[in-house]
Amino acid sequence: MTPSAIAARWAVVLASVLVMQIGVASQVRPLGIVPDLMVVISVCAGLAGGSQRGAVVGFWAGFLYDLPRDHPLGLSALAYCLIAFAAGMLQEVVLQTGRAVSTVLVAVGSAAAVLLFAALGEMFGAHTIERTNLVLLLVVVALVAALMSRIGLRLASWADGPESRSMAE
């Protein structure tokens, strides 16, 4: 599969997940918290396609999600990029992860990305921590990520093409 075909597939996936994030996930608020689907697809990209793919997809997912939000542009892009890269590195080190392990990795990675986003927001003066109960936010994000991990890994594997199927799926 050519790099332009892979990029086109990822563009379709990111656009679709962004529409789901803004149109559906923002309306479904478990315990008053908006689930973050863009971070799920970022971590899944790292697990399915490796650290470089995770970093690129994480950056673009975060950047696209930053556009309609009211905080410093690039904050989500930085957090998602770093966490998706770390997930890809972890996948490369572990080599064989089953479904349960990859589900846990997506949940933990998503919660870590939200925590990193909050820490970076505080560092850059966005005051992201004082607006919400951070522990509740992390639990809800991790649970939603665990539930969405199978779909996210399937989407990431499809976008990467048949040559790069991961054991994470």
Predicted confidence at residue 166, as pLDDT, reads 53
3-state helix, strand, coil in the chain (%, to 5): 75, 0, 25
- At 117, list the tokens: 């986003």
pLDDT at position 94 is 76
Would the pLDDT of 24 be above 60? yes
Report how far residue 38's alpha carbon sits from residue 43's, in angstroms, rounded to the nearest whole number: 9
For residue 89, name the pLDDT band (cuts at 50, 70, 90). Answer: very high
Provide the mean pLDDT of the chain.
Answer: 89
Q: What pLDDT does residue 122 have? A: 87
Strands in the chain per DSSP E: none
Class of 3-157 in CATH: mainly alpha
Q: Report whether pLDDT(132) > 80.
A: no
Q: How far apart are CA 25 and CA 50, in angstroms?
A: 27
Q: How confident is the model at residue 92 (pLDDT cuts 50, 70, 90)?
A: confident
Quick one: average pLDDT of 132-151? 92
Q: pLDDT per residue over 101-120, tens digit each? A: 899 999 999 999 999 998 99
In contact, 105 and 47? CB cutoff 8 Å? yes
- Asked if 7 and 31 count as a contact pair (C-beta separation under 8 A), the reply is no
The pLDDT of 69-87, averaged and rounded, is: 92
Could you state, in order of their start, the residue ranges of all structural domains in the chain?
A: 3-157
> Can you tell me the mean pLDDT for 117-144?
85
Structure token digits, residue 97: 């992860």
Give percent of the chain above pLDDT 90.
64
Looking from the CA of 131 toward its CB, the CA atoms found within 13 Å total 11
From CA 50, how far away is CA 11, in angstroms rounded? 18
Q: How confident is the model at residue 31 (pLDDT cuts 50, 70, 90)?
A: confident
pLDDT at 137 exceeding the cut of 80: yes
CA atoms within 13 A on the CB side of 14: 22
